[in-house]
Amino acid sequence: MVVRARKGQTSYGEVIGILMLDTYTPFIPGDVGNASTYSFPVRYETVKGLTVSRIFSKDRGALPAIREAGRKLVGQGVRAVTGDCGFMAIFQEDLAGELGVPVFLSSLLQAPFISRIIGRGKKVGIISANSEALDDGTLLTAVGIDASIPVCIKGLQDREHFHKAVIEEIGMLDPDEIEREVVNAAEELVQEDPDVGAILLECSVLPPYGAAVQEAVGLPVFDYVTMIDYVYAAVVKERYVGIM
């Protein structure tokens, strides 16, 4: 089989493209921003100027920058484009209609699916980096969450170690302390609302703590990595070999 180079493409085999905020935070294994999180190659592209404060304020003035970054990823051969912040949902419709590949910018896109599989009467418990910024309905509408999808939300913006590392961006984090804060938030969520049937971790920093959350509350836990793995399996199908 003859293969041909694609004009302008300098590397190959990176199937998932990840749009990154312009941040100053270390990304540990399990984080969306750490390439060792995945069993397959990924490609990163920073959206210049799209800071944490801008994304929390839902600044749509960043659309040209995120559009350009998405096009760069597609130009380098990725088959699908995701992001590293659930609040990128404000750009979901724009990029999904333009890039020519599947676009799934926010972990919150999983909420309608989760709601259907946990059954009527159960709620999706969302742990968010900033519940105050999330709870105005704009982002929820953008990812398909409406009145038919019951959710309850717990934010981490007031948790000391998470705030310093992710929102204040001091340039360092303590995984043990952040895990404790995330687990406490999950425990509070299910104690306050026993109808929670699954946990959805909105922030891309949170997947490393998903196992601890599940151990603490005994519920299914979804996050950015569950979504990325799912889409990867759709755009790179495997042939099955076995015994009959």
Per-residue pLDDT tens over the stretch 44-65: 999 999 999 999 999 999 999 9
Predicted local confidence at residue 8, as pLDDT: 83
The pair of structure tokens assigned to 62 is 């960043």
Predicted local confidence at residue 96, as pLDDT: 95
Cβ neighbours for 145, distance < 8 A, ≥ 6 positions apart: 108, 111, 112, 151
Domain with CATH 3.40.50.1860 in the chain: 16-106+228-235, 107-223
pLDDT tier, 133 (very low <50, low <70, confident <90, very high otherwise): confident
pLDDT tier, 12 (very low <50, low <70, confident <90, very high otherwise): confident
Measure the CA–CA gap between 180 and 100, rounded to whole angstroms. Answer: 41
Q: Which CATH class is domain 107-223?
A: alpha beta
pLDDT tier, 136 (very low <50, low <70, confident <90, very high otherwise): low
Task: Quote the pTM value.
Answer: 0.94
Average pLDDT over residues 211-239: 98
Predicted local confidence at residue 1, as pLDDT: 83
Q: Which residue type does 157 have?
A: Q
Sheet of strand 221-222: strand arrangement: 151-155, 123-128, 196-201, 221-222
Q: Taking 90 as the threshold, does the pLDDT of residue 225 lie above it?
A: yes
Predicted local confidence at residue 190, as pLDDT: 97
Mean pLDDT of the chain: 95
Q: Which CATH class is domain 16-106+228-235?
A: alpha beta
Q: Tokens 């390439």 appear where?
A: 35
Using the Cα atoms of residue 116, residue 117, residue 122 and residue 123 in order, give the sign of their dihedral: negative
Measure the CA–CA gap between 29 and 209, rounded to whole angstroms. Answer: 10
